[in-house]
C-alpha cells in the first residue's frame, strides 16, 4: 500500500513504537506506521528517550 506522502511535510504524533501521520485538521491519516518508516529513529537506552528526525535539506 502506498500512502503517497513522500516529499510532503506532515505533522505526526509519536506513539509508543509507531508514528501516526495527521491530516491538516489533526485527524489520523491512514493507520500508524513504524517510526523508522517515517524517518524517526529512537535511542531507547537513553533516559529520557532521544528522538532523531531525518529530513532532506
pLDDT bracket for residue 3 (50, 70, 90): confident
- Nearest to 15, CA basis, from 49, 45, 46: 49
Higher pLDDT, 56 or 4: 4
Q: Which DSSP state fits 50?
A: E
| More confident call, 54 vs 52 | 52
Domain layout of the chain by residue ranges: 12-53
Q: Is the pLDDT of residue 4 over 60?
A: yes
Q: Determine the pLDDT at residue 48.
A: 78
pLDDT digit string, tens, across residues 11-43? 889 888 899 989 999 999 989 999 888 888 888
Q: Are 21 and 38 in contact (CB under 8 A)?
A: yes
Amino acid at each position: 500500500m502506498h500512502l503517497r506522502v513522500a516529499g510532503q511535510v506532515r505533522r505526526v504524533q509519536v506513539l509508543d513504537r509507531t508514528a501516526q501521520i495527521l491530516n491538516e485538521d489533526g485527524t489520523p491519516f491512514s493507520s500508524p506506521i513504524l517510526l523508522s518508516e517515517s524517518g524517526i529513529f529512537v535511542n531507547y537506552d537513553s533516559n529520557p528517550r532521544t528522538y532523531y528526525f531525518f529530513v532532506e535539506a
